[in-house]
Structure 1
Amino acid sequence: MRTRDLAYVAVFAAIMVVLGLFPPIAVGPIPITAQSMGVMLAGSIIGARRGALAMLVVALMAAIGLPVLSGGRGGIGVVLGPTGGYIAGWIVGAFVVGLITERVWTRYNIGWAILANVVGGILVVYAFGIAWYAILSGQSVVLAAAQNAVFLPGDAIKVLIASAVAVAVRRAYPVIEAAPQRA
């Protein structure tokens, strides 16, 4: 990995931490935070590998107790608590957002950005978060999903914001290189 790649990872890990400074809105044991938008931004701006690595850095910082999560939280108890599935989902979600973005890079536009952010930033992150929450709470996955539906309107807004930012950054300062096309 080049120095520039490490710098991108560090910048997006820092962006994730800054997004955690916005006060969370308490909705039961899982708060509404701005950090889910960081997943979308990382994947769509710096790509699959670097985006996932940035999220992994944040998850590791949280696990060792640094207050990098919303509301200044951190520690292994938080990472393994009700929000732990979402934190793990950030890593895979950023990778999926980046992977889709890389695959369509030569024709990337707001439509592709929205699709990538919905698939990776919502569907993948929710899959991990809801599954983990269901396990910890002893509820069915269906009930856990229903309880997590409260997050969808806010996440839809985050998708639109992240997509607009990603498209603007691509035009001004493209970081991702187009994925090799298969013959």
Structure 2
Amino acid sequence: MRYSRELLGVAAVALLVGCGAPSNKAEEVPTPTSRANVPGLVEPTCLAANLLGFSDLPQAAAPVPEPRPIPADFVPVRVVTCEGDWSAGVVEHSVSWVEERREGNMDAVIAGYRLPSDAPPEVRTCFVDQPTPPIVWLVDDQGLGLLAPDLPTDACGGYKWDAITVIRALPVTERIVHLIPVSPTIEARFVTPD
């Protein structure tokens, strides 16, 4: 009889403890996102003061943090690119600055940025004339991002375009054309002589 009372007591305690345990997995604490693991992320923008230096005019918007290496625990889910549509020329003293948002698998994008450069600038014996790559924001699942680092380069300083090629293959989810006023000096560069 004594053993059955002890067994009954243990069973009652187990039952009470079991009643207090969560039974729904949805109530579990979510795993931390990339925002929690990577400090210094900001909302991506193409209109920050330090991204519009080409205009040669003062900018009202605040600057954003400079590009930096991609942290190992940062998991982007989309990109935002910013680049000029210089072929459109100057319209009403402004140039077209194109913002595109794209989504998809970012593994190849990250791999492209992490390729090694072939020669440091101080030991290059050749140079190439090439277009400027777009400004790229890598954006996490919370909508915050970091400016991607410079593209790796080959022995002559030519960009390794792997990351940009992958980005341009991703589907565009939004495209915005911003008109950015430019100084008369910059505007004169777009005017072709007759």
| TM-score higher than 0.5 | no
Instruction: Select the structure that is richer in strand.
Output: 2
Q: TM-score, normalised by structure 1?
A: 0.27
Larger radius of gyration: 2
Higher relative contact order (CA 8 A, sep 6+): 2
